[in-house]
Amino acid sequence: MNEKIFEPELTAFTCIYCGYMAADTASSLRVEYPANVKLVKLPCTGKIDIRYILEAFEKGADGVYVVACPIGNCHHVKGNVRAQARVKHAKYLLEEVGLDSERLDIFYMSGGQGVAYADAAKEMTERVKALGPNPLKKNARG
Amino acid sequence: MKKDHKNPEGVVAVVGGGIAGMRAAMDLAEAGLQVYLIERDASLGGRVAQLGYMFPTHDCVLCRGSSDNGYGCTRPAISPAFMDNNQHPNIEIMTRTEIADASGQAGDFTLTLRHEPRYIDADLCTNCGLCAIACPHRMPSEFQESLVTRMAIHKSAPRTLPDAYFIDKGDYCEGCYRCQDVCPTDAINLDAEPWEETISFSAIILALGYKLSDPLELAEYGYGRYPNVVHSMQYERYVSRSGPTEGLVLRPSDNTSPKRIAWLQCIGSRDQDHPYCSSICCMYATKEAILAKERLDGVHCQVFMMDARAFNKEYNAYFHRSYEKYGVEYTRCRISELSEDPKTNDLIVHYPDPENNQKMTESRFDMVVLSVGVRPPGGAEIVSQELGFDLNEYGFCQTDKFNPLESSQPGIYVCGAFSEPKEIAETLIDAAGAAGDVMCLFHNQLGKSPYSREHPFLSEGGEFPPEKDVEGQPPRVGVFVCRCYPSMEGIIDIDRVCEQAASYPNVAHAEDVGYGCFTEGQEAIKAAIQEHDLNRVVIAGCSHRTHESLFQRTVREAGLNSYLMEMVNIRGFCAWVHPHQPEKATRKAMEMIRVGAARASTLQPIHKSTIAPSSRALVLGGGVSGMTTALAIADSGFDVTLIEREDALGGNLLKIHFLVEGDNPGQLLRDLVNRVHVHERITIHTRSELVKHSGQAGAYHAVIQHRNGTETQIPHAVAVVATGGQETRVNQYLLGKHPNVLTHLEFEDALVYRLEELTDLKSVVMIQCVRPEGIEHDYCSRICCTSTMKNAIRLKAINPNCQITVLYKDIITYGFREQYYTEARERGVVFVRYSDDAKPVVESPNGKLQVHIQDHMLNRPMLIEPNLIALSTAIAPSQGTQKLALLLDIPLSDEGFFLEAHIKMRPMDFMKEGIFVCGIAHYPKFIEESISQALAAAGRATTFLSKQPYHYGGVVAEIDPDKCVGCLTCVRTCPFSIPHVKADLNGVGDLGGAAYIDPAFCHGCGTCAGECPANAIQLKNYTDQQIMVPEQSALGSWITV
């Protein structure tokens, strides 16, 4: 084997409403996307805590993203708006410690949008591939 | 799971599985009655399943409880209880079923039900989809309104209820048996035959819905000939995220983005053949135009309409937004011709331009949407003949003004669009109301068919073994990997996945099971839990959205708390989406199971709290709504305290003397008052007001103050707000200054008591939409136009020579009320439109009345000298509404009416559990609408009162007061205003005051937990530890294999 090609390891946070449903729809429709994302489900993206995002990076995730309901359509009214604000702040913190904030993002989609879900996975995988491995990875366990 | 239905008492048939049927079935089941939900199609959801968005909230209907994406709200909405693995024990769903024969009478109906085969056993279908891949027969998809094709073997949408494929044999399927050959679970039997069964029912609720007008009938609009003419439901599919284009609007002829779209209103409504208004089209066209504006840059949207009928809560503001914020253009006319440019397939609309003296104008569009109207459902005539109830002149179910939810056949109820065209919220009000009506009838059966919400899933209650105590025990995780043959075959190496799983920390056992969801799999899992003394379980298979309830039940049957189970979706997230990268898919499956096992080892049991509700309801307001609610709750066997501020019961009904339909409101008033007064379960307090309210659903406490200063304490389980509204007084158009300027209520009074004064009137002007000063939000009061028709027709009847001129902005005679608008015009009433820029001016030189108005047709000023002016002034909430809202801690809408939990999906509930709303307190409405909503509120209240016990809590947020600094972040952040600071709790440093979240009200979203700066809040089942599992690096790098 040649030198191993970098395969990003991504963590995606979804709510159990639109985000997880979009992932399910992608499955039902057999929409293919890169196998580089593991999903962590939350009751609402409003539950996302900046510490979760930082913990993921600290433990070696190459990229993190949040899949939320479309703005205005959150099942819990405005959880996605909270998530948006927290992602923004987490991006700032990442830059502070010298991590490219492009490694973190948030996507909004409705449960019917399987293709949009797959597109988000593709986009993040490609983006993080170009950025290279998370420099914190060597310190991470696992 | 067939029920013993030898005793039909309290068994209800709900015919039609759209949202109305689902809502009615759900309410009845929750009240402990047995329900059969009978649906003609293969899946539940009806029309609403096809809609992507609701006006005016633009909520996607997806998670609000439709069949298309059947997860629904976890708490309030209709659908989770219909999911295959979480079905309500009191509901039996029958799809592809129709009534073949009927006999009997109220209390004892016998229906012969004909079941068309699905050809696929829903219990055996694993949704692997191999059959659809094998099927060679393509046909147009009904669900996607023929915009795309589907296979003869199919599911109407990715998620349906029931969640299984079926075959629509029709003319397409020739029985090639390819599907039967590939089905891994032998679920398919192509030779299945239709079969019939006979069941006895006590009552029947009809929720047949509606069908769309057929645009082919109106050939002049080019539908079917011009490719770029689509009907509104096709457009809905385009904009729906679950539609064929995932929400992109494309021109059918060339799949380009349209730059100019026109909507043509009243296609098949308000015409000679269909003289009623379909009620929903103005709003859905507005919604569709806004969606186009949001999605397509620079698109021109033009709606050709006669009147803008935006007559419900927040609709007017929404309609205004559509042109003020989004720039949707509205042109008030019917078009005169539609033609096509054959070269470009563009469409040319010819119309009289109201902006330009009605001059004929041409306008070119890329796409034209026909706003098709509402027709009676297919087969309505047959059903009406079989069941023996009447249809009205339009073919909808005939109802009575004062019994709006009853058909002409006793024991048969009706709800939703089958009685009159109506939108979602009104349909749900009807459905809950029909259920409420049935509950009164079978009050002695309420609660007789038990069910339990003790667990996160629905159960019959009491069927599980005692729960093992896992407190303090080290986690012993069992990992069960479903093979789900052949879904993952050749992609996921299940043996390797299992082997790897056995090596993860805390994993005591790992094995593969064939199909975990089948009985053998379930038994294997339960046996392994016992054999290996497991106290945590991971199921690696399919989606928790479809199967979580099933496996929660499985582990509970094995003696574990249902929350000690975690699902990992390797079929959906690994096998199905990475079929060409098996190595990576297998690794992803291993990593996801590793995280699942790590999380599982942190899971803790969760138990709900219970409360035994008291048996009393408090009803605030003694008008038609309050009295109807009180009677319905009391008839259902519960005690009611009815509070009225005034001296006598009756409310606005005391001021109404006649109705446009001819019914006698006085009789209704006498009936209600007499029945309320003699009812043994109703206690009435007139001249009394609520002054204090505390407690939680099931155990509220009210203090009532009487006018003589004394107080009464009333403990109650639920409350209904029915405080009504009032006609406003204005300081405009000389009202109160000139004796011949009256409000419509005063005019109605004159029509009854001072008739002789009106017989020689020569000219009367009626001015619509008179908004009092200081009301910021313009809204439609809904009932005024019909009242105007009523009074105009009555005056014309006694004094035909009187010239009546109605000055209006939009005539809102929705539904069948359109006939009175037609009648008024036939009797010679003249209608003149005015706009807000050119309001009528009323003067009185020398005591005579003069009205100046700009005529919009002739575009020149007009002077009318009437003898009398009648004003339609706005209907406002009752005085004291704001104070009451504060007392009850419930919000008000922009218009000042009470704000329900969700203006579409929960129109009679408040976010605060156990409090309901009905009548004009909710929004101005007609008597029949108030009665429907009163019955709906009563039904919801009765459902709650029948729960013994009521379960609450579960996955809710908890504050550790020792960490709380009282910063109020959670109070500000909570979208439902649940947290509040309690003085009797001590926070950090033992200082007084810490935030508290009432588990009875918390929705469990965790937004507060994510925001709390002191980290004092944890959401059960999603604690920081359970999400991060830092010692096992659950969120970080993947395992190396």
Between chains, do A24 and B1033 touch, taking CB under 8 Å as contact?
Answer: no
C-alpha B302: how far from chain center? 29
**pLDDT band with cut points at 50, 70 and 90 for residue B60:** low
Helix (H, G, I), strand (E, B) or coil at B83: coil
Q: Is B185 exposed, middle or buried (0-12, 13-18, 19+ CB in 10 A)?
A: middle
Going by the DSSP 8-state scheme, the letter that residue B403 receives in this structure is: B
Query: What is the Cα–Cα distance from B1026 to B1005, expressed in whole angstroms?
Result: 15
Q: Which residues pair with B97 in a beta bridge?
A: B115
Going by the DSSP 8-state scheme, the letter that residue B961 receives in this structure is: G
Closest to B413 (Cα-Cα) out of B437, B377, B446: B437
B1017 CB within 8 Å of a chain A CB = no
Contact B302, B409 (CB under 8 A): no
Give A-chain residues touching B1022 at CB under 8 angstroms.
42-43, 47
**pLDDT band with cut points at 50, 70 and 90 for residue B565:** very high
Query: What is the Cα–Cα distance from B386 to B98, expressed in whole angstroms?
Result: 11
Contacts of A4 (CB under 8 A, 6+ apart): none
Closest to B313 (Cα-Cα) out of B858, B766, B725: B725
Closest to B952 (Cα-Cα) out of B719, B607, B695: B607
Give B-chain residues touching A109 at CB under 8 angstroms.
241
Per-residue confidence (pLDDT) for residue B326, from 0 to 100: 97
Between chains, do A25 and B63 touch, taking CB under 8 Å as contact?
Answer: no
Contact B346, B365 (CB under 8 A): yes
Query: What is the Cα–Cα distance from B249 to B350, expressed in whole angstroms?
Result: 24
Each residue's pLDDT tens digit, B392-429: 999 999 999 999 999 999 999 999 999 999 999 999 99
Per-residue confidence (pLDDT) for residue B855, from 0 to 100: 85
Per-residue confidence (pLDDT) for residue A1, from 0 to 100: 38
Q: Which residues of chain A have pLDDT under 50?
A: 1-2, 140-142
Residue type, B552: Q
Residue type, A45: T
Closest to B912 (Cα-Cα) out of B955, B878, B952, B879: B952
Mutate to test the interface with A, among B573, B603, B972 (most CBs of A within 10 A): B573
Going by the DSSP 8-state scheme, the letter that residue B1031 receives in this structure is: G
Instruction: Using the predicted structure, report yes or no on whether residue B716 has a pLDDT greater than 90.
Output: yes
DSSP element (H, E) containing A52: helix A50-58
Instruction: Using the predicted structure, report yes or no on whether residue B2 has a pLDDT greater than 70.
Output: no
Determine the Cα angle at B277 with ends B273 and B283, to 5°. 135
Lay out the sheet containing B741-743: strands in order across: B741-743, B868-873, B763-770, B803-808, B830-833
Each residue's pLDDT tens digit, B234-280: 999 999 888 888 888 999 999 999 999 999 999 999 999 999 999 99
Query: What is the Cα–Cα distance from B453 to B772, expressed in whole angstroms?
Result: 48
Helix (H, G, I), strand (E, B) or coil at B259: coil
Q: Which of residues 769-808 of B touch A (CB under 8 A)?
A: none
Q: Which of residues 148-187 of B touch A (CB under 8 A)?
A: 158-159
% of chain B with per-residue pLDDT over 70:
97
Instruction: Using the predicted structure, report yes or no on whether residue B167 has a pLDDT greater than 60.
Output: yes
Per-residue confidence (pLDDT) for residue B560, from 0 to 100: 97
Closest to B374 (Cα-Cα) out of B420, B431, B425, B428: B420
Per-residue confidence (pLDDT) for residue B64, from 0 to 100: 47
Question: Buried b / exposed e across A41-80, counting CB within 10 Å, b at 16+?
Answer: bbbbbbbbbbbbbbbbbbbbbbbbbbbbbbeebbbbbbbb
**pLDDT band with cut points at 50, 70 and 90 for residue B67:** very low
Per-residue confidence (pLDDT) for residue B358, from 0 to 100: 87
Contact A100, A64 (CB under 8 A): no
Per-residue confidence (pLDDT) for residue B662, from 0 to 100: 95
Per-residue confidence (pLDDT) for residue B159, from 0 to 100: 75
Q: DSSP string spanning B629-694?
A: HHHHHHHTT-EEEEE-SSSSS-GGGGG----TT---HHHHHHHHHHHHHH-TTEEEE-SEEEEEEE
Contact B994, B1014 (CB under 8 A): no
**B170 vs B315, residue with greater confidence:** B315
Give B-chain residues touching A29 at CB under 8 angstroms.
158
- Residue appearing with tokens 């309609």: B319
Q: B779 vs B325, B810, B841, B882, B897, CA distance in Å?
A: 18, 12, 21, 18, 11
Work out whether the CA dihedral B1021, B1025, B1031, B1036 comes out positive or negative.
positive
Choose the closest CB to A27 out of B572, B588, B1005.
B572
Residue B117's φ and ψ, nearest 5 degrees, are: -70, 145
Between chains, do B1037 and A140 touch, taking CB under 8 Å as contact?
Answer: yes
Per-residue confidence (pLDDT) for residue B911, from 0 to 100: 83
Query: What is the Cα–Cα distance from B89 to B1033, expressed in whole angstroms?
Result: 41
Give residue B104's region: left, alpha or beta (phi > 0; psi -120 to 50). Answer: left
3-state SS record for B913-938: CCEEECHHHCCCCCHHHHHHHHHHHH
Per-residue confidence (pLDDT) for residue B1, from 0 to 100: 37
Between chains, do A111 and B1022 touch, taking CB under 8 Å as contact?
Answer: no
Half-sphere exposure of A62 (CA within 13 A, CB side): 19
Per-residue confidence (pLDDT) for residue B357, from 0 to 100: 84
Tokens representing B95?
Answer: 């799809």
C-alpha B80: how far from chain center? 14
B955 CB within 8 Å of a chain A CB = yes
Torsion of CA A41, A47, A51, A57, to 10 degrees: 30
Going by the DSSP 8-state scheme, the letter that residue B217 receives in this structure is: G
Instruction: Using the predicted structure, report yes or no on whether residue B37 has a pLDDT greater than 70.
Output: yes
Per-residue confidence (pLDDT) for residue B200, from 0 to 100: 94
Instruction: Using the predicted structure, report yes or no on whether residue B72 has a pLDDT greater than 60.
Output: no
Going by the DSSP 8-state scheme, the letter that residue B885 receives in this structure is: H
Q: How many CB pairs under 8 A join A and B?
A: 211
Per-residue confidence (pLDDT) for residue B77, from 0 to 100: 42
Each residue's pLDDT tens digit, B965-995: 999 999 999 988 899 999 999 999 888 899 9
Each residue's pLDDT tens digit, B989-1034: 888 899 999 998 888 999 999 999 999 999 999 999 999 999 999 9
Instruction: Using the predicted structure, report yes or no on whether residue B65 has a pLDDT greater than 60.
Output: no
Query: What is the Cα–Cα distance from B587 to B595, expressed in whole angstroms?
Result: 12
Query: What is the Cα–Cα distance from B534 to B539, expressed in whole angstroms?
Result: 13
Q: Is B159 exposed, middle or buried (0-12, 13-18, 19+ CB in 10 A)?
A: buried
Per-residue confidence (pLDDT) for residue A139, from 0 to 100: 54
Tell whether pTM > 0.90. Answer: yes
Contact B189, B119 (CB under 8 A): yes
DSSP element (H, E) containing B992: strand B992-996
Contact B29, B88 (CB under 8 A): yes
Q: How far is A17 from chain B (nearest CA, A)?
A: 7
Q: DSSP string spanning B307-350?
A: S----STTHHHHHHHHHHTS--EEEES--SEEEEETTTTEEEEE
Each residue's pLDDT tens digit, B355-397: 888 899 999 999 999 999 999 999 999 999 999 999 999 999 9
Per-residue confidence (pLDDT) for residue B896, from 0 to 100: 92
Per-residue confidence (pLDDT) for residue B795, from 0 to 100: 96
DSSP element (H, E) containing A125: helix A114-131
Q: What is the mean pLDDT of chain B?
A: 93
Determine the Cα angle at B122 with ends B116 and B124, to 5°. 135
**pLDDT band with cut points at 50, 70 and 90 for residue B467:** very high
Give A-chain residues touching B242 at CB under 8 angstroms.
25, 110-113
Mutate to test the interface with B, among A53, A73, A107 (most CBs of B within 10 A): A73
Between chains, do B241 and A113 touch, taking CB under 8 Å as contact?
Answer: yes
The ipTM (two decimal places) reads: 0.96
Instruction: Using the predicted structure, report yes or no on whether residue B75 has a pLDDT greater than 50.
Output: no
Between chains, do B1036 and A142 touch, taking CB under 8 Å as contact?
Answer: yes
